[in-house]
Amino acid sequence: CMEENMTSEGLVQRGSAAQALLDNDSFRQVTKALMDYYISAILASNPDDEKGRNAAYFSSRALQDLIAVLNQWVVIKDQIISNTEEE
């Protein structure tokens, strides 16, 4: 696991960078636009276009995974900061 090789300071820095990205208006706009595009591609596909639907589905899953990892990094940062403040 990558976290095992990072210091608490490194995890906090990574989490802070992830938070900044998630809070960035341009990042939010592009992720929303991409998700809207993928959903539209699925809904507008022909019934026999399974390959096209699968491509749009897996692209949307990859985007969701990216956002989930960024959110996970923020949670780890917040936990480290919370634990540090409790000590």
44 versus 2: the higher-pLDDT residue is 44
Q: How confident is the model at residue 84 (pLDDT cuts 50, 70, 90)?
A: confident
Give the pLDDT confidence score for residue 87 in this predicted structure. Answer: 74
Q: How confident is the model at residue 1 (pLDDT cuts 50, 70, 90)?
A: low
Helices 8-23 and 25-44 pack at an angle, to 10 degrees, of: 70
- The C-alpha angle with vertex 48 and arms to 45 and 54, in degrees rounded to 5, equals 60
pLDDT over 80 at 12, yes or no: yes
Q: What is the pTM of this model?
A: 0.87
- The C-alpha angle with vertex 74 and arms to 69 and 76, in degrees rounded to 5, equals 95
Give the pLDDT confidence score for residue 86 in this predicted structure. Answer: 81
